[in-house]
A and B are shown apart, each in its own frame.
Chain A
Amino acid sequence: MSAPEPSKPLTGAALLEAVTDAIVALHLHHYGRAPAQAKTYLLQDELLACTLSGIYTQVEKTMIELQRADDVHATRHAFRDAVKKTYIDVVQQLTGRTVRASISNYHVGPDLAVELFLLEPAPAL
């Protein structure tokens, strides 16, 4: 599994698609399943947000049914923290911009995750 490495930073729809593909590929690699849905937005040219739904594995779904969603999210946060460099590197490579900050957020009912990246301003042309 891999996403193609662009020769130069992407912008516009190509960037949003590439980020979606990369984040979905990472999710598939780490959790063994692709999300049911994924979409990436760029807010005010500095906030890159990839929204995923249908993310949970069967084990996690069972834990959530057993009222253990907090444990599921704690594990997801711990894992995401351990691999945050991978996510940041991917976004920096695709955008050509430094990631100032990033964070993940997980939900149940609806089953959602958000990967957020705050980018340094684009270099002046």
Chain B
Amino acid sequence: MSPQNVPDGTGDGPPFECHWRAEGAGAASVQVSGEVDMLTAPQMNHVLRDACAQAPLVVLDLSAVSFIDSSGLHVLVDAAGRARESGTRMVMIGASRALEALLVLTGTQHLINALPSLSRHGVESLLQERASIQAPEAGFDPLANPVNASVLAGRVMAISDDRLWLHAPDGTILRAWAPYASGLPVPAGEWVEIYLDREGAVNGWRHAASGISINQRQLPPGAKPDTAAPLTCRGSCRVTWMAPAALQLTEHDERCLTCAGPLVRA
């Protein structure tokens, strides 16, 4: 046994606890906390056996586990195999990076259903994905306008009670302004370009196929105007933007979101 595998039941971490309970519809959850080592792994094994005997779906929550050694890993792999054979499905969530690495290192990751975690940073991760869409047309260069920190693709979601909801490839959900009087301006499932500022707020969006282009900069927080005025770009892209705060945009000498050209009232 290597030094890091020495059981440390008297360490500074939280005490080991493991219990299960029936939850949801025909399911069970197993909560484990503290250190899982050769002293505590048998208890986890016992709890997993009980839970898997009672429900066809068991969620094993390891988010409060501070340490797990090879005996704990053995119990996990063994329990997953037993569950699969008996028709129960065990899903592990909240695994630490150390445990994920241990699973990869031992080649056992494929034996356990583990859920990938979403990014903790949401919009920050989006901002790191700079220019996930390349400008498709000559004269279009959204990053030429310094208000745009990021340009990305977003799928229009089928959520329609409050403007336009967009779903980015990393799972981030963004709400954008849209003229909503006659329903979704762009069909659900369509992809649009989204322009984000440095804080991750939506500057605007554009659906190239229909030409619908929205510039929502200068829109006061909480404002929900139903209409927008057109502003035409006199730069290289010639896009006509629908702007719910058109007056404020021109007063602040805002530029076009797709080429940084000057904007004039249409």
What is A's interface to B at a CB cutoff of 8 Å? 1-4, 17-18, 20-22, 24-25, 28, 34-39, 41, 43-44, 46-47, 49, 51-54, 77, 80-81, 84, 88, 99-105, 107, 110, 112, 114, 116, 118
Given contacts A1-B161, A34-B165, contact A107 B25 (CB under 8 A): no
What would 12 more interface pairs be, CB under 8 Å, given A39-B171, A116-B27?
A: A1-B161, A34-B165, A34-B173, A36-B122, A36-B172, A47-B89, A47-B91, A51-B115, A53-B171, A101-B26, A103-B59, A107-B94
Supply 20 A–B pairs (Cβ within 8 Å), ascending by A: A3-B158, A3-B159, A18-B158, A20-B171, A21-B188, A24-B159, A36-B122, A36-B123, A37-B172, A37-B173, A47-B57, A53-B118, A81-B24, A99-B25, A101-B27, A101-B55, A103-B23, A103-B25, A110-B120, A118-B27
Contact, CB under 8 Å: A37 / B122: yes
**Residue B254 is within 8 A (CB to CB) of chain A in the complex:** no
Contact, CB under 8 Å: B115 / A49: yes
Contact, CB under 8 Å: B27 / A53: no
Complex: A39 Cα to B55 Cα, angstroms: 25
**Residue B113 is within 8 A (CB to CB) of chain A in the complex:** yes
**By the criterion of a CB under 8 Å from any partner CB, how many residues of chain B are at the interface?**
42
Complex: A39 Cα to B29 Cα, angstroms: 21
Contact, CB under 8 Å: A116 / B160: no
**Residue B130 is within 8 A (CB to CB) of chain A in the complex:** no
**Residue B63 is within 8 A (CB to CB) of chain A in the complex:** yes
**Residue B253 is within 8 A (CB to CB) of chain A in the complex:** no
Contact, CB under 8 Å: B59 / A53: no
Complex: A110 Cα to B26 Cα, angstroms: 27
Contact, CB under 8 Å: A46 / B89: yes
B residues 163-182 in Cβ contact with A at 8 Å: 165, 167, 170-173, 175
Which residue on A lies nearest to B60, using beta carbons?
A105
Contact, CB under 8 Å: B89 / A37: no
Contact, CB under 8 Å: A114 / B59: yes
Contact, CB under 8 Å: A44 / B159: no
Contact, CB under 8 Å: B115 / A102: no
CB neighbours (8 Å) of A36 from chain B are 122-123, 172-173
**Residue B61 is within 8 A (CB to CB) of chain A in the complex:** yes
Given contacts A41-B116, A51-B117, contact A107 B63 (CB under 8 A): yes
**Residue B238 is within 8 A (CB to CB) of chain A in the complex:** no
Contact, CB under 8 Å: A44 / B113: yes
Contact, CB under 8 Å: A103 / B56: no
Contact, CB under 8 Å: A100 / B122: no
Complex: A4 Cα to B256 Cα, angstroms: 34
**Residue B157 is within 8 A (CB to CB) of chain A in the complex:** yes
Minimum C-beta distance from B28 to chain A (A):
8
Contact, CB under 8 Å: A53 / B122: yes
CB neighbours (8 Å) of A3 from chain B are 158-159
Contact, CB under 8 Å: A24 / B24: no
- Identify which of B26, B55, B171 gathers the most chain A CB atoms within 10 Å of its CB: B171
Minimum C-beta distance from B258 to chain A (A):
26
